[in-house]
Amino acid sequence: MNASVIIFYIIAAFILGAGILAVTTRKIFRSAIWLLFSLIGIASLYFWMQVEFVAAVQIVVYVGGIVVLIIFSIFLTQKSGDEMPKPLKNRSIFSALAVLFGFAFTFNLIKQYGFKQIESTPFEVKVSDIGNQMLSTTEHGFVLPFEVVSILLLAAMIGCIVIAMKVKHNEQ
Amino acid sequence: MGIDFLILMKHEWLLIAIIFILLFIKVGSKEWKNESILNLINILLLFNCIVGFFWNEGGILFNEMFKTDALIAAEKNILNLGTYIISLQSYSWLKNHKHVLEFYMLLLSTLAGMFFMISAGNLLMFYLGLELSSIPLAAIANFDLEKRKSSEAAFKFIISSAFSSGLLLFGISLMYGATGTIIFSELSQQLNGSPLQIFAFILLIAGFAFKISAVPFHLWTADVYEGAPVAVTSYLSVISKGAVLFVFVSVLYEVFKPLAETWYNVLFLLSVLTMIIGNLFAIRQNNLKRFLAFSSIAQVGFILIGISGNSQTGAASVVYFVLIYIFSNLGAFGVISLVSALTGKENIDDYKAFYKTNKLLSWVLAISLFSLAGIPPTAGFFGKFFLLMAGAGQGNYLLITIAALNMIVSLYYYLKVVKAIFMDTNETPIEKITIPSLPKLALFICMAGIVLTGLMSYVYEYIFSLISAF
Amino acid sequence: MSEITVTHILFVSTALFFTGMYGLFTRRNMITMLMSVELILNSVNINFVAFNKYLYPGKLDGVFFTIFVITIAAAEAAVAIAIIINLYRSHHSIDVEDASELKY
C-alpha cells in the first residue's frame, strides 16, 4: 500500500458513491449535484492516470457545460424542492437484480481475460501531439473524424435552435 | 491525395455542399417562398442522385478511415434514391411548414452520417457516422412542434438511441482492450474467440439490433413511428434501417468473419423472435403507422435470415431486398402521408371504402402492400425468395419453416387492410384527394420500382456481381 | 493488492456502467434519464483511457476516442434538453409516465 494506491481507492469510492446517489436520490436537484461530483471524480481519476488533457476536457465540457445545462433545464422545468415519486417497487428490485447480475457476469469475464500490462513504454499525452494528430491527414491523423464531428455539431445546433426557439404567435 | 480524394468522397461532398447552400440561403436576407425552396431542393437532390451513378471508383483514404468500392457506391445510390422519393412525398407536409430549410439541413446531414458509416474502415468513424445519422434525426422527429406526440417520439428516440450507442460503445471499448486496434482490417486478424471478445461482440450486435429494431430491442419503434411526422417515419423505417443493415452485413461478413459461428446463432435467435413478435403485434394494430412499424419489424426478421446465410447470395439478397423494401414501403407511406396531411386520418377503419373515392391511391397502396407481403408478381416476392434461399444455404430448415409460416400470417394482416380498402362499406369515406405533381411523381417511381426490380433479373445479377468478398 | 492494475480501473468503469443502466431502468423523469445516459458514456470513456494508458501506449487511439465521445455526448445532451424544454412548454410535465399518450 502506498499513497497512490490509497488515492485510487478514495477516488473510486467517490465516483461510485456519487454515481449511485445520483441515480437513486428522489430530489432532482440533488441528483444533478451528485452527478456533478461523480463527474469531478472521473476527472480526478484521469489526473491520477496522468492523462491531464482528457481530465481538463472532462472538467470543461462535462462539469462546466453539460451539468450546467442540466441544472438550467431543471430550473426551467421543475419545482426544485419537490420529491420525485418513488419508482415502483417491483421494477426497482428487478432492475437491481438484473444490473447486479450483469455486473457480476461482465466483471468476471474481464477478470478471467487477465489483461497483460506493458510496463516498458511510458505513456504520455502531449497536447501538441493531440493537436497535430487531430488535424493531420497522414497516418494516425484524425482530420476526417474531426470534420464529421463538426458537421454533427452544426446539425445539433440547428436542431436545438429550431426546437427550443419560442414561437411567436401573431395575434392581431 | 489530390484529385482522387475529391472523386472518392463524391457522395459526401455533394451532400455537404447542398447543406451549405441551404445554410447560406437561410442566413441570407432574402425571403424565399416555401414552394420555390422545395422546388430548388428537389432539383438539387435529383442532381445529387444522378451524379451518384457516375465516376465511381474504389479506394481507401485517410489511413483506412474511409473506404469505398462499387458495392458501397451502389448502396449509397440506393439511399440517395430513397431520400429523393421521401423528399418528393413530403411536399404537401412541408409546403406549410415554417422550417423547411432546417428540415433539409438536418435530413441531409443524417444522410451524410449514413454514408460515412457505410464507408467506415475503423470503429471511430463507424461510431461517429452512427451518431451523426441519429442525433439530428431525433431533432427532426420533433418537427411537428406543437404536437405533444411528436416531442415524445423525439425524446424516446434520442434516449433509446443513446442507450443503444452506450451498449455499442461499451462493446467497442472492450473490443479495443482485447485487440488493441480500432481499424477493421487489423481487428479481424486479432479475433481469437475468447469469452471477453465474444461478449464485447454481442454488445456490438445489441447496439445494431436496437438500430434495426430487432426484437427484443424494438420497444421504441412503434411509439416513435406513430408520433413522428410521416416523412420522418418513412425515413426512419426505410433509409436509416437500410443503411444500418448495409453496415451490419459488411461488418459481420468482413470484420467478424472469424466469429461466424457465434453470430449465426445470435442471428437465428433474433430473427425467429423478430418475425414472430413483429407479426403478432402487427395483427392487433389499428393505426396504419403503427401497423407499418410492426410489419417492418417483421420484415427485419426476414432480412436477418438472409444475413445469416453468410455467403455472396446472402449479401446480395440483403441489398436487393432493401432496394425493393424502399420502393414498397415508400409506396405505402406515400399514400398515408398524402391522406394524413390533407385529412389527418391514420386509422385502418378510416380507410374503409377508400377505393370508392380514390381509385389510383387505393391501387398504389394495395400494390405496395402486396409487395411487402411477398405476393408473386411483385418484386417483394423475389426479394423474400432470395433471402430465404440465402438462409437455406446454411441448411437450417427449421428457420426456413418458421419463416414460411410467418409469411402466411403476414399475408393475413396485409390482406386485411386491402380488404378494408376495396370491400368494406363506410358511411363517411375519405373524400377525393387531388395529388400534387411531385408526390405523384414519387408514387410513380415507387410503382415502377416495384414492377421493374421484380421483372428484370438484371438488377439482382448486377448487385450479385458487385460483391467480391467471397 | 499493492498495485493498481487495469482490472481495478475496469471494476470502477463497469460498476459505473451498470449504475447508469439501473438509473435508466428505474427513473421516469426525463432529465434524470438523461443523467443516467451521461454516466454510461463516462464509464466507456474511463475504459478507453485506461486501455490506452496501460495496454497500448504506442498510439493515442483510446484518448482520441474519448475526446470524440465527450463531444458527441455534449451534442446529444443539448438536443435532448431542447426536446425536453419544448415538451415542457407544450404540456408542463416531463415525466415519462405523464407523457404516455403513446403505449407499447
Q: CATH number for the domain including A17?
A: 1.20.120.1200
Give the model's confidence band at B185: pLDDT under 50 very low, under 70 low, under 90 confident, else very high: confident
Residues A92 and A119 in one domain: yes
Asked whether residue C96 is domain-assigned, the answer is no
Residues A119 and A141 in one domain: no
The CA distance from C98 to the nearest CA of chain A, in Å, is 12
CA distance A163 to A157: 10
For C40, the domain range is 6-91
Written as nine digits, the cell of C4 is 493498481
Q: What percent of chain B has pLDDT over 90?
A: 27
The CA distance from A10 to the nearest CA of chain B, in Å, is 24
**Which residues are registered as beta bridge partners of B67?**
B60
- Torsion sign over Cα A75, A78, A81, A83: negative
Least Cα distance to B372 among B422, B431, B327 occurs for: B327
Asked whether residue C17 is domain-assigned, the answer is yes
Residues A47 and A20 in one domain: yes
Kindly tell me if the per-residue pLDDT of B468 is higher than 80: no
Residue in A38, A78, A99 closest to C18 by CB: A99
pLDDT, one tens digit per residue, over A107-148 is: 999 888 877 777 666 777 788 888 888 888 777 788 889 999
Asked whether residue C102 is domain-assigned, the answer is no
Tell me which chain C residues have a C-beta less than 8 angstroms from the C-beta of A60. none
**Which residues are registered as beta bridge partners of B68?**
B59
CA distance A83 to A79: 9
Tell me which chain C residues have a C-beta less than 8 angstroms from the C-beta of B222. 102, 104
DSSP secondary structure of B409-429 = HHHHHHHHHHHHHHT---SSP
pLDDT, one tens digit per residue, over B76-106 is: 999 999 999 999 988 888 888 888 899 999 9
Highest-scoring range by mean pLDDT, A94-98, B282-286, B349-353, B373-377: A94-98
Kindly tell me if the per-residue pLDDT of A170 is higher than 60: no
Asked whether residue C29 is domain-assigned, the answer is yes
Contact B362, B118 (CB under 8 A): no
What's chain B's average pLDDT? 87
pLDDT, one tens digit per residue, over B424-461 is: 777 777 777 888 888 889 999 999 988 888 787 778 88
> In chain A, how many domains are there?
2
Q: What is the CATH number of the domain that holds C84?
A: 1.10.287.3510
CA distance B314 to B321: 10
Residues A43 and A103 in one domain: yes
Tell me which chain B residues have a C-beta less than 8 angstroms from the C-beta of C76. 131, 135, 158, 162
Contact B212, B247 (CB under 8 A): no
pLDDT score of B469? 52
> In chain B, how many domains are there?
1
pLDDT, one tens digit per residue, over B313-356 is: 888 889 999 999 999 999 998 888 888 878 877 888 888 888 88
DSSP state of B68: E
Cα–Cα distances in Å, from B53 out to B10, B30, B80? 10, 34, 10
> In chain C, how many domains are there?
1
Q: Does B36 touch chain A (CB under 8 A)?
A: no
- Tell me the HSE value of C7 on the side-chain side, using a 13 A CA sphere: 14
Residue among B25, B61, B128, B142 with most chain A CBs within 10 A, to mutate:
B128
The residues in B 88-127 lying below 8 A from C, measured between CB atoms, are 123-124, 127
Cα–Cα distances in Å, from B217 out to A61, B40, B167, B206? 31, 39, 12, 8
Neighbours of B1 (CB within 10 A): 9
pLDDT score of B108? 94
Angle (CA) B196-B197-B200 rounded to 5° is 85
Residue partners of B466: CB distance under 8 A and separation at least 6: B70, B71, B74, B316
Phi, psi values for residue C95, rounded to 5°: -85, 140
Asked whether residue C80 is domain-assigned, the answer is yes
Contact B204, B217 (CB under 8 A): no
DSSP state of B59: E
Kindly tell me if the per-residue pLDDT of A71 is higher than 70: yes
- The answer to whether C68 contacts B219, with C-beta atoms less than 8 Å apart, is no
Least Cα distance to C52 among A43, A19, A50, B190 occurs for: A50
The CA distance from C86 to the nearest CA of chain B, in Å, is 7
Q: What is the ipTM of this complex?
A: 0.91
Q: Which of A156-165, B55-64, B215-224, B231-240 has the lowest mean pLDDT?
A: B55-64
Cα–Cα distances in Å, from B225 out to B81, B447, C95? 21, 23, 20
For A154, the domain range is 126-172
- Torsion sign over Cα B245, B249, B255, B256: positive
Residue partners of A30: CB distance under 8 A and separation at least 6: A21
Angle (CA) C48-C51-C56 rounded to 5° is 120
Q: Which residue has the higher pLDDT, B428 or C93?
A: B428
Residue partners of B337: CB distance under 8 A and separation at least 6: B89, B90, B92, B93, B230, B231, B234, B439
pLDDT score of A22? 92
Phi, psi values for residue B469, rounded to 5°: -70, -20
Written as nine digits, the cell of B157 is 428516440
**Which residues are registered as beta bridge partners of B122?**
B183
Asked whether residue C103 is domain-assigned, the answer is no
- Torsion sign over Cα B219, B225, B226, B228: positive
DSSP secondary structure of B271-328 = HHHHHHHHHHHHHH--BHHHHHHHHHHHHHHHHHHHHHT-SHHHHHHHHHHHHHHHHH
pLDDT, one tens digit per residue, over B234-244 is: 999 899 999 99
The CA distance from A137 to the nearest CA of chain B, in Å, is 6
- Give the rounded distance of the alpha carbon of B459 from its chain centre: 19
Tell me which chain C residues have a C-beta less than 8 angstroms from the C-beta of B223. 102-104
Kindly tell me if the per-residue pLDDT of B182 is higher than 80: yes
Q: Does B1 touch chain A (CB under 8 A)?
A: yes
CA distance B290 to B408: 20
pLDDT score of A159? 92
Residue partners of B458: CB distance under 8 A and separation at least 6: none
Closest chain A CA to residue B196: A109
- Cis peptide leading into residue B216 (ω within 30°): yes
* pTM for the model: 0.92
pLDDT, one tens digit per residue, over A75-109 is: 888 765 667 777 778 888 998 999 999 999 999 99
Where do we find the cell 454516466? C39
CA distance B119 to B111: 12
Residues A104 and A83 in one domain: yes
Report the Cα–Cα distance between both ends of chain B, in Å, rounded.
Answer: 29
Give the model's confidence band at C101: pLDDT under 50 very low, under 70 low, under 90 confident, else very high: very low
Residues composing chain A? 172
pLDDT score of C96? 62
Q: Does B106 touch chain A (CB under 8 A)?
A: yes
Q: Which of B8-12, B56-60, C3-7 has the lowest mean pLDDT?
A: B56-60
pLDDT, one tens digit per residue, over C65-74 is: 999 999 999 9
Kindly tell me if the per-residue pLDDT of B377 is higher than 80: no
Neighbours of C97 (CB within 10 A): 9
Contact A152, B128 (CB under 8 A): yes
pLDDT score of B216? 83
Residue among B144, B148, B151 with most chain C CBs within 10 A, to mutate:
B151
Which chains share 3+ C-beta pairs under 8 angstroms with A? Answer: B, C
Residue in C69, C86, C104 closest to B151 by CB: C86
Q: Does C23 touch chain B (CB under 8 A)?
A: no
Kindly tell me if the per-residue pLDDT of C103 is higher than 60: no
CA distance B355 to B332: 15
B168 burial class (0-12, 13-18, 19+ CB within 10 angstroms)?
buried
CA distance A91 to C22: 10
- The answer to whether B135 contacts A151, with C-beta atoms less than 8 Å apart, is no
Neighbours of B438 (CB within 10 A): 18
Neighbours of A56 (CB within 10 A): 14
Beta strands in B325-463 (DSSP E): none
3-state secondary structure of B67: strand
Residues A120 and A131 in one domain: no
- Tell me the HSE value of C87 on the side-chain side, using a 13 A CA sphere: 30
- The answer to whether A109 contacts B196, with C-beta atoms less than 8 Å apart, is yes
| Average pLDDT of span B267-280 | 89
Residues A169 and A95 in one domain: no
Tell me which chain A residues have a C-beta less than 8 angstroms from the C-beta of C21. 95, 99, 102
Contact B153, C86 (CB under 8 A): no
Q: Which residue has the higher pLDDT, C2 or B305?
A: B305
